Structure formats: structure tokens, C-alpha cells
């Protein structure tokens, strides 16, 4: 099965790429899909902080240089069942070459994942790399500078023939924010969804529990679910929603060594 490969992208750092990549991956996994989440921000890897995988010492670099196999570098996030290739925090920063990305693509292309979600570092890639993705999920905050930057990135992806969608993050519904209509006019397309600013996000990062798992009833989680539904409707295959392998309570007990 060929997975649907999404790169989560923006021109700016700090807009919420990693937060959205992690929570979207968890939400799709719980919908019943097999999902692989990959940290390709090889300069500032941060998926590990969100999921409690700070201590892995082998990862993407070993995989794409054929020093390790997929089964050796992926870790299972037990509360959701999601598979993850977190960044190795102790590793010196490096930039993935085209041949490394091609190797990665060849490895996952025949895997049994429905979705591969790739968290990336801010900015552009070369044209050549875009053929390895099915689409870019652009992330912006509702501020002029952020939207202007993301629109420039969208133009770049258009030239590279990479499909893209835009999601707004940290939406506060304040008068000083750009209005959705203004943003859609700049982007020349509809946005997929807007994701609320929510204190659940920093709290959940601190606790190493994705906000979507921590509390499904928050506005943030509802928005993430909407985004997951957008992607699940693209695949058009039937899956059974997965039961969470652990309850929140058993997860906390395990975290503190009681289980
Ligand atoms: N919807 C949100 N509500 C509240 N805080 C958020 C939200 N999205 C992101 N953040 C905060 O913004 C910071 C940067 O987010 P991050 O996902 O690391 O951005 P990026 O990957 O684009 O650099 C994080 O520390 C997180 O706490
Ligand atoms: Mg990030």
C-alpha cells in the first residue's frame, strides 16, 4: 500500500507545525488508520518533547544511511498505537540530502501505513524533493507576517507542482487578527480549518501527552478532529476506530512506574 505522505510546512518557526503534526497523527491513528509520524526537523527536532521520546539514540539518519532498519528506529507511542521516528536530540544537527529523502521514500512506499506525517523545519526545500510528498499542509497564525510568508511558500509549492492546504493555528478570535476572508483572499483558496489557541497545548507538552489525547473535549481537540476528518475523507477506505490501548489513568500509573 502506498501511504499518503503529508509534509507539515511553514516559512516561520513557532507557528505550530510540530504541535499539529503530532496531534493530527494521533487523531488519525485513533480513527483507525496506521500512521507513521516522522521528525524531519533535523536542526531543532522536537517531536520527542511532545511524546516523551527524548532519550532515543538512533533515528532517521541511521535509517536513511542504511545503518538501521525501519523496525529499529521507529517507536510505538503506546497510548495511541502511533508509530514514530522521533529526532535524536543528542545528535549534531544535519541537513537531509535528496538521496537520504529518496531512500526514506523507498523504505516507506511499501510499508503498511495509510498516512505518513512528516514534521519539517521552517522554510523551503529544493524543487526536487517535493515529488516525495503527496501534499504540504501549510501552517500559519492569523497574523499578516505569518500569512504573507505562507502564501510565498504556497507559490513555491505551486511551481514545484506540490498540492497544498492551509490550516490556521493559534486562532484567538480577536479583532486585531486577520479575518478568515482576508486570509483566504491572500491564499486564493479556502483554509481547511482554524485551530484555537488553547492552554491545553503547553500543558500537554509539559506532560508529554498529546493535547488530543489529554482532553478530546477542548476546542483545540475538536479542531484537530476536523482536520483528521478532512484527511480521512481523502483516502476513502473503511477503517474501524481503534480502542485506546491504555486509559489515561493506566498511562499515568505507567509513567510513574506503578504498572
Ligand atoms: N493551538 C495552540 N495553542 C496554544 N499554544 C500553541 C498552539 N500551537 C502551538 N502552541 C505553542 O507554540 C509553541 C510552538 O509550537 P511548535 O508546534 O513547536 O511550532 P513549530 O513546530 O512551527 O516551530 C509551542 O511551545 C506550543 O506550546
Ligand atoms: Mg517544530
Verify whether ligand 1 is closer than 6 Å to residue 16 (CB atom). Answer: yes
Tens-digit pLDDT string for the chain (259 aa): 799 999 999 988 999 999 999 999 999 999 999 999 999 999 999 999 999 999 999 999 999 999 999 999 999 999 999 999 999 999 999 999 989 999 999 999 989 999 999 999 987 666 567 789 999 999 999 999 999 999 999 999 999 899 999 999 999 999 899 999 999 999 999 999 999 999 999 999 999 999 999 999 999 999 999 999 999 998 878 788 876 656 677 677 767 766 5
Pocket test for ligand 1, best of 9, 11, 16 (most atoms within 8 A of CB): 16
Q: Which residues contact 200 (CB under 8 A, 6 or more apart)?
A: 211, 214, 215, 218, 220, 221
Which residues, by Cβ under 5 Å, contact ligand 2, an ion?
Answer: 17-18
Distance, C-alpha 228 to centroid of its chain: 11
Whether the Cβ atoms of residue 64 and residue 104 lie closer than 8 Å to each other: yes
Atom 16, ligand 1: which residue's CA is nearest? 16
Domains of the chain: 4-255 (3.40.50.300)
Q: What's the gap in Å between 220 CA and the centre of ligand 1?
A: 12
Written as nine digits, the cell of 52 is 516523551
Distance, C-alpha 251 to centroid of its chain: 22
Paired strand residues for 6:
117, 135
Q: What is the pLDDT of residue 127?
A: 58
Q: What is the pLDDT of residue 14?
A: 92
Q: What is the largest CA-CA distance in the chain?
A: 54
Closest to 178 in 3D by CA, of 130, 149, 207, 144: 144
Q: What is the pLDDT of residue 247?
A: 67
Q: What is the pLDDT of residue 191?
A: 97
Q: What is the pLDDT of residue 230?
A: 96
Q: What is the pLDDT of residue 181?
A: 96
Verify whether ligand 1 is closer than 6 Å to residue 123 (CB atom). Answer: no
Q: What is the pLDDT of residue 251?
A: 73
Pocket test for ligand 1, best of 7, 13, 14, 170 (most atoms within 8 A of CB): 14
Amino acid at each position: 500500500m502506498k501511504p499518503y505522505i503529508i509534509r507539515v510546512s511553514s516559512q516561520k518557526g513557532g507557528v505550530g507545525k510540530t504541535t499539529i503534526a503530532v496531534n493530527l497523527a494521533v487523531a488519525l491513528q485513533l480513527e483507525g488508520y496506521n500512521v507513521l509520524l516522522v521528525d524531519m526537523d533535523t536542526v531543532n527536532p522536537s517531536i520527542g518533547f511532545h511524546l516523551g521520546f527524548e532519550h532515543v539514540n538512533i533515528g532517521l539518519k541511521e535509517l536513511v544511511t542504511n545503518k538501521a532498519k525501519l523496525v529499529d528506529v521507529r517507536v510505538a507511542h503506546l497510548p495511541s498505537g502511533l508509530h514514530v521516528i522521533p529526532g535524536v536530540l543528542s545528535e549534531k544537527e544535519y541537513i537531509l540530502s535528496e538521496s537520504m529523502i529518496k531512500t526514506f521514500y523507498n523504505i516507506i512506499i511499501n510499508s503498511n501505513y495509510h498516512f505518513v506525517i512528516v514534521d519539517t523545519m521552517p522554510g523551503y526545500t529544493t524543487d526536487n524533493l517535493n515529488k516525495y510528498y503527496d501534499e504540504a499542509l501549510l501552517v500559519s497564525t492569523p497574523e499578516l507576517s505569518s500569512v504573507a510568508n505562507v502564501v510565498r511558500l504556497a507559490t513555491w509549492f505551486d511551481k514545484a507542482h506540490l498540492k497544498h492546504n492551509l490550516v490556521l493555528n493559534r486562532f484567538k478570535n480577536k479583532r486585531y487578527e486577520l479575518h478568515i476572508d482576508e486570509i483566504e483572499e491572500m491564499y486564493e483558496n479556502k483554509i481547511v480549518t482554524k485551530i484555537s489557541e488553547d492552554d491545553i497545548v503547553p500543558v500537554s507538552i509539559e506532560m508529554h501527552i498529546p493535547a488530543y489525547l489529554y482532553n478530546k473535549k477542548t476546542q483545540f481537540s475538536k479542531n484537530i478532529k476536523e482536520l483528521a476528518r478532512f484527511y480521512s475523507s481523502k483516502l476513502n477506505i473503511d477503517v474501524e476506530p481503534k480502542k485506546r490501548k491504555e486509559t489515561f489513568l493506566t498511562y499515568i500509573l505507567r509513567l510513574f512506574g506503578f504498572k
